[in-house]
Structure 1
Amino acid sequence: MMPGASDRPLTIGITGPHLTGKSTFISRLALELRRNGYQVATIAALVERAQRLGIPILHNHSWASTMWFITRGISDELEAWVHADVILVNGAVPDALAYYHAALEHRGEEPRSTEIAQLESLVRSHSSNYNLLFRTTLETNATDGEADDEDFRRLADRWVRRVAESLEVTNVPVPSSDHDTALELAVSYVIEHG
């Protein structure tokens, strides 16, 4: 039986542009929480699954691919509710909306207001399930790839921040060069509220 809203597990989402340490952060946090005796479920980023299915990602995001990321992410999180004290979500649902905005801007396309409103509604209503959102950030001097990808990563970083700040969920910036403070905050939060 699925837990109700009052007895759902603590859920911590990790958002941020690609190549900013989300997977590293989530692995370290899961290890620390397990050391403290918590049953932890980690929800993997959906990018590899999307690539296998041929779903557009990054600067190719479409309305349909964004809807897939949002609904698949929600479904994966709900499935984990049954088996965990704490759920850690790599690439939390708000990331999909941020990446869609970044892709549209990157391509010079205007969003359709009805499509954006629908996506925003889903993201906003589901995001109330996150107890905390950590947002990895792009270092200002980061240059890990091709110029086109770096431009897109900067757009993604800006849109991830905008989307996270628009939600009524505590969101904590995590510089890719310093995860320790955020890890301490997350562990303390779980111990206090778990």
Structure 2
Amino acid sequence: MTTTQPIRIGVLGTHSTGKTTLLKRIEMELRAEGVTVARTGRLGKRAAAAGLPKMQHHTAASTEWIITQGIADELAAAAQGAEVVLLDRAAHDAIAYFHAALEYRAEASHRLERERLLALASTQLPKYDMLFATVLDESKPVEHGHDYDPRFRRLVDQHIRLLLDQGDIAHQRVTSDPDSQAHAIDTAVQLCLKEALV
């Protein structure tokens, strides 16, 4: 590729809706075309390892950590020469989890804190060349070994839709339907290969 900045493709969505699988498939297709790809991720697990809460216990501090660590991971991938960076949990994902956790716990946060975190996440939007939002399908079983709270899972899905709609954020919805996933993969791969020819 001739561009100095990598192509950035982000995904957000509630847990066990195929985000990581989608990015793995895009990565596989691009690598087969000789494209250098980096994929970020595991932010929730890494936050927990750092002693921060996650899921329905998400706080302003864990939200900020996840957003800023995701930014740092992306910058590191670009510095190491990745032509495409796949962002497993785009910045607004953390905001949706935070808002869902507050609603789940029937708590409120200070308006200025919410606005500050949203502003932080929003600084990343101009950097995304493509943004996917996975859609919750409750008829699909969650990954084996996970005991997710179904109400919290629904709340995250609702808050992701709300953030995307209220912010008028360009994105492509990806359902559990194989055709929807195939279309998303093809769209991402074609974008990257087109940019490679520029």
TM-score by length of 2: 0.88
Letter in 2 for 1:8: Q
**2:124 is the counterpart of 1:126:** yes
**SS class of match (2:149):** helix
Equivalent residue of 1:89, what SS? strand
Mapped pair 1:47 → 2:44: yes
Deviation at 1:7, TM superposition (A): 2.9
Report the AA paired with residue 75 of structure 1. Answer: A
Partner of residue 11, structure 1: 8
Q: Which runs of 5+ in 2 are unaligned?
A: none
Query: Where in structure 2 are the equivalents of 1:1-194 lying within 5 Å?
Result: 7-82=4-79, 83-142=81-140, 144=142, 149-167=149-167, 169-178=169-178, 179-194=181-196
1:127 and 1:167 in contact (8 A); partners too: no
Whether the 8 Å contact between 1:124 and 1:167 is mirrored in structure 2 is no
Deviations along 1:49-96, one digit per CA (max 9) or x if unpaired, are 112122100110011110111111111111111221100011111110
1:153-173 CA-to-partner distances (Å, cap 9, x unmatched) read 100011112223344653111
* CA distance in 2 between partners of 1:152 and 1:73 (Å): 23
CA–CA separation in structure 1 for the residues paired with 2:165 and 2:128: 14
Q: Write out per-residue CA displacement over residues 130-184 of structure 1, whole angstroms, 9 at most, x where no aligned residue.
A: 11111111014345465x7111010001111222334465311111232111111
Q: 1:189 is matched by which residue type in structure 2?
A: L
In structure 2, what is the Cα distance between the partners aligned to 1:22 and 1:8?
23
Q: 1:38 is paired with a residue of what secondary structure?
A: coil
Amino acid corresponding to residue 103 of structure 1 in structure 2: A
Partner Cα distance (2:82, 2:91) in 1: 19
Partners of 1:75 and 1:26 in 2: CA distance = 19
Residue 27 of structure 1, CA deviation: 0.7
Q: Find the aligned partners of 1:38 and 1:170 in 2 and give their Cα distance.
A: 25
Q: Which amino acid aligns with 2:155?
A: L
SS at match of 1:18: coil
Unaligned runs of 5+ in 1: 1-5
Matching residue's letter, 1:66: T
Q: Determine if contact 1:42/1:89 at 8 Å carries over to the other structure.
A: yes
TM-score (norm 1): 0.90
State the superposition RMSD in angstroms: 1.8
Query: 1:143, 1:150 within 8 Å by CA — same for their partners in 2?
Result: no
Segment drifting more, 28-37 vs 177-186: 177-186
**Cα distance between partner residues in 2 of 1:135 and 1:45:** 17
Q: Any idea what SS the aligned residue of 2:174 has?
A: strand
